[in-house]
Amino acid sequence: MTDIPTLPILFVPDPRLRAKAKPVAATDPGSVRDLADRMLATMYAAPGIGLAAPQVGEMLRLVVIDLQKDEQRQPMVLVNPEIVAASREAATREEGCLSLPGQHADVTRPAVVKVRYLDLEGARREVEGEGLLSACLQHEIDHLDGVLFVDYLSALKRNMLLRRLAKDLKAKERA
């Protein structure tokens, strides 16, 4: 993926990160495949394990994920993903986000989710995720609805984290 150009990642408070993404139409699979490839290249370069199209300024319901188990790349591309089932049992994991660099917090979400999506060929697929995959699926699908992981935190924690991010980003601009 080193020959594929990467895309700039948007940072909070960019308003596009708070907008709802539009469904991907079946009219141009070539451009969706190209965007997915560029998103994967961007995610690997960051480095990260998930990236949603709104994070690179594309307001489409498109997500790429690769947990890179055993350091082997196993990319997933989810077109128009939707959570169709979620467990009552919750799990808490530390989350971070490429759009909030260097910021992390514990987030509680359903422990298991089932997601329905289309693959790049337009075939309907489902994946059931638990553990890290569950958290990643939920985190990335939230991006498609303008929701960030900080929205799950108390107002106090969220404000502290966002102030720290603003300070970090200003320091990088001056450097």
- Residue 47, preceding bond cis, omega within 30 degrees? yes
Catalytic residue status for 94: no
Please compute Rg for the chain using Cα positions: 16
Torsion, Cα 115 121 122 124, to 10 degrees, reads: -40
Catalytic residue among 58, 71, 94, 140: 140
Q: Which residues are catalytic?
A: 140
